[in-house]
Amino acid sequence: MQENGAKAERIVVRGLVQGVGFRPFVWRLARRLGIEGDVSNVGDAVLIRAAAPPEVLGAFAAALTEEAPPLARVEAVERAPLPAFHGEGFAIAASAPGTVSAGVVPDIATCPACRTEIRDPAARRHRYAFTNCTDCGPRFSIVEGLPYDRATTTMRGFRLCPDCQGEYEDPADRRFHAQPIACPACGPRLTLEIGGTPASGDPLAEAAERLKAGAILAIKGIGGFHIACDATNETAVAELRRRKHRPTKPLALMVRDRAMLEELCAMEPAEWEALCRPSAPILLLRRHEGAMLAPSLAPGNARLGVMLPYTPLHHLLMEAVGRPLVLTSANRSGEPQIYRDAEVREGLAGIIDGVLTHDRPIARRLDDSVARLAAGAVRVMRRGRGLAPAPRALPPGFAPAPAVLALGGELKSAICLSTAGRALLSHHLGDLDELATQDAFETAIADYTALFDHRPAAIAVDLHPDYRASRLGAALAAARGLPLIGVQHHHAHIAAAMAEHGWTVDAGPVIGLALDGLGLGEDGTAWGAEILLCDYTQSRRLARLTPIALAGGDVASREPWRVLLAHLDAALPPEDVPTGLFDGLPAATVRAMIARGINAPPASSAGRLFDAMAALLGLAPHRLSFEGEAALALEALAAGAPPAEGVYAFDVVARQGLAEIDPAPMWRAAVADLRAGQPPAAIAARFHAGVARVFARAALTAAAEQGAGAIALSGGVMQNAVLLGHLVARLAPSGLALLVPAEVPANDGGLAFGQAAVAAARLMQR
């Protein structure tokens, strides 16, 4: 009952506020402050009726944001007067009907309370591998439908015991309405299978002993299976590489705790904070010289992909093993991660010695997220477990836009669903040049659109007509009678950076600095090192790297020596091209292809420029075993060099109405340094500094000429921390806003987000 000048308000809280323990948080807060009323879910928001003195209501409204649960993200708290009402106490009311658009949160790493519980011999969940609460545990990987309730998850087959039921129904308990709630009496169980036969004894303890003895095991996690082995055992790691046909690509590892990590890697405070986030990503960290790890873990790479345990199973296993473990996706080379039990035995035959599994089904595959510290911020490189499917608010002005389904590109594919001023970027789906990934891609489109009840008014795709995502988008648009909106590859990259940083629809154009591998340009040629003038609806190219022939087309992306040959032939007279670089290679054939214009399309690619420099310095094999292999080695070499003495120069000339950045002087200087015996690390450092200087100057010139108030940086090459650091250092003093991707990948994993923003803006313009 309201007394003492109490007022009543209707409070609506919007954002990521469902499935995160927000209603019991409100219930506890209201009881603490003596507020009467109730709280319920309505649509994708939380509705509160509250009665209390005005000053108490003010404190209550502020605390809704300031004290929100760790998994919540409050975007708005809307308050309005409400006619007086009578009530006793504060209640959690039944949810009102409404369209649910954001009712699922990502899978969350084990919280401190649950970590303490599994280590407490007196606790009911002591050493239980599936312990969770409202603040942690599986979410997106187990949900099969909305509203998010146990009956619509893969936990529905586990009937709650009386103790768990009591916790589930108690608003004061941290497991109130925690849908994955379980305990040893009623929840999932572990099994260790060796040769298809369940092993006797404690599955976890036996798995730990086998790993310490050099075995290679598949381990079922939250979003799929991993393959694990002892990361300090070179025999085991080399055997894993042999069995998996993965000769050089770095392998991720898991460490038990900070003490173990500090023995292996150097770490900034921001990096430790990122590792400890609820998303628990893989983070790329600089390894210590002489770290006690298998030499073949990450050959030629100064960084290691490291993660902390993020499930109780991982915590218990790491404590039992007591040493770092390789934890890499369970798949055959190039194929998607395996996540169904029925696929493990056949799919990993000949690779693993056994399987540590459990009986909780996984609803969808989720690769681990990957991030790194670059230019002063932690930046997402792969969006997966722990990050997807958290929605993002689009900048002001997008709320009226019709719904869009954007399908991204060919590599690092992801899709994006936008509606009502919000965008939901999917998890990493893989490279669409693999048939199994194509199937997974189509499944993900159906899964996301059904789960979130998304009904697009248009479909957005890349301009490249031969991308599988573009072809599928065209077919979907035709079948549904929807507009198909093509978005130029690098325009989408820049638009993603704009939208992530809240650049409004009416804020005017920005200068886009897009450094990338390859993307089809509006003129039908391959682009990849461009300076653009962009708003959300259109872009115009102002500058580019001088195009170079890619002899063999896509083959040149896998064989960097071909690109190096083209660059050196363009920059140096024949007698100055170093001898021996192309011994044993079909250089004459490649030169003939370029001279005759046979399957040698021109491309202005920054990615291929970096590959070519890696080839000059002997860092690139004749044929790459994975994308980015050469560029990673080049960055590692530059990062380990002393401060650069000298910076390689590029020419900037006007050609075909564009400012063209010509690398010929750089190549001449680099070859001269190589002949003079300069250390390769110094050459790599001067190259990075030179690329940054010339593109930063060109971007600043374009901004001044066009009157732009911001420079947006994006494209896969922007994941190079050495380059990005140089660019930001040169651009920051200008005072212009720098829009640098952080939460949305700069690589093609962020394309769909940019496509959705461009398509939405164009639809509003129509």
Per-residue pLDDT of 254-287, as tens digits, reads 999 999 999 999 999 999 999 999 999 999 999 9
Count of other CB atoms within 10 angstroms of residue 711? 25
Q: Quick one: which of 593, 629, 599 has its CA closest to 614?
A: 629
Note the Cα 554 to chain centre separation in Å.
Answer: 25
In tens, the pLDDT along 113-135 reads 999 999 999 999 999 999 999 99
Contact 372, 379 (CB under 8 A): yes
Which two tokens mark 73? Answer: 């993200």
Distance CA 533, CA 388 (A): 31
User: Does the structure show a pLDDT above 90 at 4?
Assistant: no
- The reported pLDDT for the residue numbered 644 is 62
In tens, the pLDDT along 610-625 reads 999 999 999 999 999 9
Count of other CB atoms within 10 angstroms of residue 138? 26
Lowest mean pLDDT among 447-451, 690-694, 745-749: 447-451
Which strands, in side-by-side order, build the sheet including 90-92?
73-81, 7-16, 45-52, 36-42, 90-92
> Which residues on neighbouring strands pair with residue 286, listed in sequence order?
303
Distance CA 467, CA 473 (A): 10
Residue with tokens 């006690």: 292
Count of other CB atoms within 10 angstroms of residue 662? 17
- The reported pLDDT for the residue numbered 99 is 44
Distance CA 137, CA 310 (A): 9
Compute the CA torsion angle 629, 632, 634, 638 (nearest 10 deg): -170
Q: Quick one: which of 142, 169, 9, 31 has its CA closest to 89?
A: 31
Beta strands in 43-175 (DSSP E): 45-52, 73-81, 90-92
In tens, the pLDDT along 56-103 reads 999 999 999 999 998 888 989 999 999 988 778 999 987 665 444 445
H-helix segments, 481-622: 489-500, 555-558, 560-571, 587-596, 606-616
- The reported pLDDT for the residue numbered 44 is 75
The H or E element containing residue 653 is strand 651-655
Provide the greatest CA pair distance for the chain: 95
pTM of the full structure: 0.94
Note the Cα 192 to chain centre separation in Å.
Answer: 31
- The reported pLDDT for the residue numbered 9 is 95
Long-range contacts at 115-119 (CB < 8 A, ≥ 24 apart): 115/312, 115/315, 118/312, 118/315, 118/316
User: Domains, the chain, ranges and CATH?
Assistant: 7-92 (3.30.70.100), 100-377 (3.90.870.30), 378-507+747-765 (3.30.420.360), 515-535+542-739 (3.30.420.40)
Angle, helix 312-321 to helix 203-212, in steps of 10 degrees:
50
Lowest mean pLDDT among 139-148, 525-534, 609-618, 683-692: 139-148
Three-state secondary structure string covering 17-47: CCCCCHHHHHHHHHHHHCCEEEEEEECCEEE
180 three-class SS: coil
Q: Quick one: which of 718, 539, 651 has its CA closest to 728?
A: 718
Q: Residue 389, preceding bond cis, omega within 30 degrees? A: yes
Return the DSSP state at 220.
Answer: E
Contacts of 250 (CB under 8 A, 6+ apart): 297, 298, 301, 303, 304, 305, 632
Q: Quick one: which of 298, 277, 330, 291 has its CA closest to 106?
A: 277
- The reported pLDDT for the residue numbered 435 is 87
Distance CA 251, CA 383 (A): 18
- The reported pLDDT for the residue numbered 97 is 54
If you average pLDDT over every residue of the chain, what do you get? 94
Task: Render 435-491 in DSSP notation, one character per residue.
Answer: HHHHHHHHHHHHHHHHHTT---SEEEEES-TTSHHHHHHHHHHHHHT--EEEE-HHH
Give whole-number Cα distances, 507 to 503, 513, 743, in Å: 7, 18, 22
Note the Cα 741 to chain centre separation in Å.
Answer: 11
The H or E element containing residue 324 is none
CA angle 445, 76, 95 (to 5 degrees): 70
Contacts of 69 (CB under 8 A, 6+ apart): 20, 21, 22, 25, 134, 135
In tens, the pLDDT along 162-205 reads 999 999 999 889 999 899 999 999 999 999 999 888 998 999 99
Distance CA 554, CA 518 (A): 10
Question: Mean per-residue pLDDT for 744-759?
Answer: 98
Residue with tokens 């605390």: 63
Distance CA 63, CA 26 (A): 9
In tens, the pLDDT along 213-262 reads 999 999 999 999 999 999 999 999 999 999 999 999 999 999 999 999 99
- The reported pLDDT for the residue numbered 148 is 79
State the first-to-last Cα distance of the chain, in angstroms, to the nearest integer: 53
Radius of gyration of the chain (CA): 27
Contacts of 720 (CB under 8 A, 6+ apart): 610, 631, 635, 688
